[in-house]
Structure 1
């Protein structure tokens, strides 16, 4: 016990923010004027903390085996300093990869995917509305100008995607994983496309169809409750977007996923794949228990792949990457905006969740989301994960298509058109 206490006192003295720890029994060690306070119910939790297993500490917080008080930015600064090393996975052994592939296979049947999507996205529309922007865009914003608010940055992101896709009036546009309809409706209202969105979330499906009705867009916009694998291939699309969806596909389905997009995309068409990417070259999840925490409480079945692996799978699927952009620090700023918004309305969030979940579950969900939003913001800041936009084409095989001979799509092979 003395060894553990000595280790703890040494760790606490080296943290970038003042922190105190209440031990089982009441004794307190650390800073007399802490920015972050932790209170442990048992010694096993304290040993987990001393070992730097911050994902397990987060689980103890959700399950009320430990109390954490303090601003989430300070909590995450302390958490990062407690890590024994980089949490980016480095185990590339063949047996580890075999096990990961087997787990991916089990996690990504159509039925499992539907259950996992609803676990996260059907928590409560009112809960998400408390901390998202008014359009409920639940993906990385684009802070084109430093002074942008979150709402402005989300609209900038929607337009950034539409510009990259070169959307034109009357084109058939598909949004795979359309969420609460932000991109789907923006594309229809600002670019006059014929828009189709799909989701596996019952809440999102109902919400977007209500918006379509209210906005008088019926006939031009439709939102389907459908798995991407179930889309009929007799209908093709000029442009396709997938925003925040690829993380749910799974390694084992990636070739089939991009192959499906290729078959749905008209020859010469453009597709935008916007998604979180891993820092590790080989498939895996963040260490120190962080990956397990996200899988248990937030995104069951979620899998992050390195940008190079996604590009490989796109190429196998017949798509040609024409532009890649990394928005990693934009997502850190987005997540901090979400985290700050939730922290400012904790009691309201608890009341909203209690109406749909009951008191006990509401507390668990709220504690999990507090750590999830702040923890992800920290992970993007530190480069453990990233956010890539891949723009790709389905080449039409015609040397005369496009601005340059051999382009085989309308893409002009320069970025000027995006920023005009």
Structure 2
């Protein structure tokens, strides 16, 4: 007797934008003869997952080798987007009990020890692995394609400069980079704007890499990289602060603490730029259809996304005044596709690099499969406005209404955007 799932699957295949074929557990093949994407299933449970539109669980089956894939990631993502049962950014619970559960989970996931463990899980996979598909500066955040024909490397430099210009960095100012990664912004700000720069990270690999770069570039006198939690940084207030791709790891419950620390570390009248991924729904918790669960398990444990309105409310609650907010969502889609294409072009090298540091014989292949889906799936999510990316520029008001370029400004910000684009 033919499995009753097959007619439903065949009907799904008819409406897909890319021709797809399926190799079923019993050996039968269904779908297009000239398929661009072929999925091979070991058991019927994975097929049921696909029929239900549970894309995240299907991705897990691929990582764990219960499903095999042939075809381009770009084609696969066109198929995945069509299989989803609805908008995956609007599937979170917004009731009071859902809010209580979210807060409880957030508190449990973001102790000092948990945050360090979670950051190292992601960023310490392998520096050489990341170097295969990032630009030469290893900038691991949304690029800024100021011109349409920019390469990824050019767009990343444009992003670094865009941030420095927004912050109005000046020679000799004390600058803090919260979650400095592999040092792209930290070193750019020091070398191009002459700031005295401090970066912090919880990644041991990143700390070691940036420390070597500081020494190699002769910047030891005015640039430093600390292995430090943002909650523990003891320092005199900074003139300017940037946080790029970091606050996604902070957690909903810790947002008041996070922005209070930013306020405390920023001089009155100073500027802070918070650049990070945001949710598309005001009730956003994580992506639905199993996609958020997949990212939690394989990529970013402890990651939480908030709507930009929630972030701005938390900033205001800490005494920071938002003066400019910019949405770079399509820029991140293009960035992620560039990373995905770069990884897809070097899969054999990636396997070798990951195998050199793998603790288990099959873990390298699992990591590679997870990152292939993560990069392409994230690109798709930004394209479809399921998640977004915002740069939020804020100031700590200085109190005096006669300081600054305009009466009442209370900061260095001139209350127009012209200076950012000169």
TM-score (norm 2): 0.98
Q: Secondary structure at the match of 2:90?
A: coil
- Offset, 1:2: 4.2
State the number of aligned residues: 419
Q: Secondary structure at the match of 1:230?
A: coil
| 1: CA distance, partners of 2:176 / 2:367 | 32
| 2: CA distance, partners of 1:282 / 1:44 | 31
Say what the alpha-carbon RMSD is for the aligned residues: 0.8
Q: Secondary structure at the match of 1:92?
A: coil
Cα shift readout 1:113-155 (whole Å, capped 9, x = no counterpart): 0000000000000000000000000000000000000000000
> For 1:205-354, what aligned pairs fall within 5 Å after superposition?
205-233=207-235, 235-354=236-355
- What's 1:10 paired with? 11
| 1: CA distance, partners of 2:5 / 2:71 | 24
On the 8 A contact 1:40/1:65 being kept in 2, the answer is yes
On the 8 A contact 1:22/1:38 being kept in 2, the answer is yes
| 1: CA distance, partners of 2:237 / 2:286 | 35
- Offset, 1:100: 1.1
- What's 1:89 paired with? 90
- What's 1:134 paired with? 136
- What's 2:53 paired with? 52
On the 8 A contact 2:89/2:284 being kept in 1, the answer is no
Candidates 378, 382, 385, aligned match of 1:383: 385
- What's 2:40 paired with? 39
- Offset, 1:355: 0.2
- What's 2:372 paired with? 370
> For 1:134-153, what aligned pairs fall within 5 Å after superposition?
134-153=136-155
Candidates 171, 174, 187, aligned match of 1:172: 174
Does structure 1 residue 410 correspond to structure 2 residue 402? no
| 2: CA distance, partners of 1:218 / 1:202 | 19
- Offset, 1:386: 0.4
Q: Secondary structure at the match of 2:362?
A: helix
| 1: CA distance, partners of 2:8 / 2:99 | 35
Q: Secondary structure at the match of 1:229?
A: coil
On the 8 A contact 2:249/2:303 being kept in 1, the answer is yes
Candidates 393, 396, 399, aligned match of 2:398: 396
Cα shift readout 1:177-215 (whole Å, capped 9, x = no counterpart): 000000000000000000000000000000000000000
The change in CA–CA distance for 1:80 and 1:283 in structure 2 (over 3 A counts) is closer
TM-score (norm 1): 0.99
- What's 1:70 paired with? 71
Q: Secondary structure at the match of 2:215?
A: helix
Q: Secondary structure at the match of 1:49?
A: helix
| 2: CA distance, partners of 1:105 / 1:280 | 22
On the 8 A contact 1:16/1:77 being kept in 2, the answer is yes
| 2: CA distance, partners of 1:394 / 1:140 | 25
| 2: CA distance, partners of 1:52 / 1:401 | 57
| 1: CA distance, partners of 2:7 / 2:320 | 57
| 2: CA distance, partners of 1:366 / 1:136 | 18
Does structure 1 residue 23 correspond to structure 2 residue 11? no
| 2: CA distance, partners of 1:304 / 1:263 | 24
- Offset, 1:278: 0.3
Unaligned segments of structure 1, at least 5 residues = none
Cα shift readout 1:37-62 (whole Å, capped 9, x = no counterpart): 00000001100011110000000000
Q: Secondary structure at the match of 2:419?
A: helix
Of 86-95 and 170-179, more deviation after overlay is shown by 86-95
- What's 1:115 paired with? 117
On the 8 A contact 1:169/1:192 being kept in 2, the answer is yes
Candidates 154, 158, 161, aligned match of 2:160: 158
Q: Secondary structure at the match of 1:299?
A: coil
| 1: CA distance, partners of 2:369 / 2:240 | 39
| 2: CA distance, partners of 1:351 / 1:359 | 12
| 1: CA distance, partners of 2:88 / 2:4 | 25
- Offset, 1:359: 3.7
| 2: CA distance, partners of 1:77 / 1:124 | 30
On the 8 A contact 2:190/2:196 being kept in 1, the answer is yes
Q: Which runs of 4+ in 1 moved over 2 A?
A: none
| 2: CA distance, partners of 1:97 / 1:360 | 38
Unaligned segments of structure 2, at least 5 residues = none
